[in-house]
Amino acid sequence: MKRREFLAGIGTAGLWPAALRAQQPGKSATIGFLASSTAAAELPRRAAFVARLAELGWVEGRNLTMETRAAEGIVERAGEIAAGFARLKVDAIVLAGDAQGIAVKRAAPDIPIVLAAAGDPVGNGLVASLARPGGNVTGFSVQLTDTAGKRIELLREIVPNLRRLALLGNSSNPVVALEFAAAQSAARTLGVDTVTPEFGRAEDVPSAIEAINGRADGLYVCVDPLMIANRARINALALATKLPVVHSYKDNLGEGLISYGPDLFDLYRRAAGLVDKILRGTRPADIPVEQPTRFELAINLKTAKILGVDVPAALLARADEVIE
């Protein structure tokens, strides 16, 4: 969703209740919204989610209560929060991330769970299959591994002399491990070597960037709650060492150079549709896991200027958003 569409949706929110009175469900619902990183980072996506629920007849403050909690990038905290949601008897839990999904499923096995974005829900045992999830989990599989090669190709369009690529991610996260493998395979095909600095705690950020300073021509950042919570510092330190950074989501771009991946606003709006089905009686087990239909390419020209790299005009023409 583009910023102007989002603001337009927020601006008309006050008009919905009167227009939707006849469509509103006859019961109330409570949703547990888990921010995998910080509440502030998830606020725009939460707003998109709530706005879509209002369009479907679930209006916050009227027949919808939102219980919002933030895990601050700590997987264990996600499980603790889910246990709290279970005590509150929420009707559904919404979150993103496989590791967090596993923790939440373990802590709240009887509550419907909607994953707005999951890297590999089948491979990580969150669902039995995309077509027939089974259990209490459904949502969206973003398949970041499938687009890893595309991100590297895009980075190389801007950095044609890309010879060595650093891969930064929390390797304890099973999805990051899968994305590492996909990125390494894609890099080999393109004749690019890879290095992987150690990164498993927030304190590791400075040493990880320092470890690749002068040893890599670019930095590929794997999305993870720990990374999201520290994205500003990662981007700033990489920029200070003149290292071009590629991200999976536009939200994480910041001072990075380029990002390519699913439109998270669109996924959270679609997640509201799945929650609506659950609130109206459909079991998560019977709701197929869907995939993204919208992808975004964003380029930061301010960063490109600092790095001293030229972005090809053809690539700029393909971008969904250009930061100038």
Q: Which of 35-44, 136-145, 225-234 has the highest mean pLDDT?
A: 136-145
- Least-confidence region, from 121-130, 169-178, 309-318: 169-178
Quote the pLDDT of residue 114: 98
Q: How many CB atoms lie within 10 A of CB 129?
A: 11
* Residue 4 pLDDT exceeds 90: no
- DSSP-H helix ranges across the chain: 3-11, 16-20, 39-55, 75-88, 98-107, 148-158, 174-189, 205-212, 225-229, 231-240, 264-279, 301-307, 313-318
Q: Residue 259 has what pLDDT?
A: 97
Q: What is the pLDDT of residue 229?
A: 83
115's enclosing H/E stretch is: strand 113-118
Please give the span between the terminal C-alpha atoms of the chain, in angstroms, as a whole number.
Answer: 19
Q: So what's the pLDDT on residue 13?
A: 41
Of 65, 60, 106, 111, the residue nearest 85 (C-alpha): 111
Token pair, residue 88, equals: 């509150």
**Interval 202-223 mean pLDDT:** 94
What CATH superfamily is the domain 3-141+263-293?
Answer: Response regulator (3.40.50.2300)
Please state, in angstroms and rounded to a whole number, the distance separating the CA atoms of residues 117 and 22.
32
Residue ranges in 224-295 assigned as alpha helix (H)? 225-229, 231-240, 264-279
Maximum distance among all Cα pairs of the chain, rounded to whole angstroms: 63
Please give the Cα distance from 88 to 279 (Å, whole number): 16
CA 278/CA 244 separation, integer angstroms: 43
The whole-number pLDDT of residue 177 equals 86
In this structure, what token pair is assigned to residue 71? Answer: 């895990």
State how far the Cα of 127 lies from the Cα of 289, in Å rounded to an integer: 9
Q: Could you read off the pLDDT of 153-190 as tens digits, one per residue?
A: 999 999 999 999 999 998 778 788 888 999 999 999 99
Query: β-strands 258-262, 295-300: how paired?
Result: antiparallel
Q: Is the pLDDT of residue 106 over 80?
A: yes
Could you tell me which residues are beta bridge partners of residue 194? 165
pLDDT confidence of residue 131: 97
Instruction: Report pLDDT digits (tens) over 40-89.
Output: 888 999 999 999 999 999 999 999 999 999 998 888 899 999 999 999 99
Supply the pLDDT for residue 276. 98
Q: How many CA atoms lie within 13 A of 189 on its CB side?
A: 11
pLDDT digits (tens, 9 = 90+) for 218-251: 999 998 888 888 999 999 999 999 999 999 999 8
CATH class (in words) of the domain with range 145-261+296-323: alpha beta
Give the pLDDT mean for 24-29: 79
Q: Which of 321, 177, 324 is nearest to 263 (CA)?
A: 321
CB atoms within 10 A of CB 1: 21
Q: Could you tell me which residues come within 8 angstroms of residue 121 by beta carbon, excluding any fewer than 6 positions away?
A: 98, 101, 115, 127, 130, 133, 137, 139, 141, 289
- Residue with structure tokens 């006859």? 26
Residues of the chain with CATH 3.40.50.2300: 3-141+263-293, 145-261+296-323
Helix, strand or coil, per DSSP, at residue 92: strand
Torsion of CA 230, 231, 232, 233, to 10 degrees: 50
* Separation between Cα atoms, residue 317 and residue 142, nearest integer Å: 25
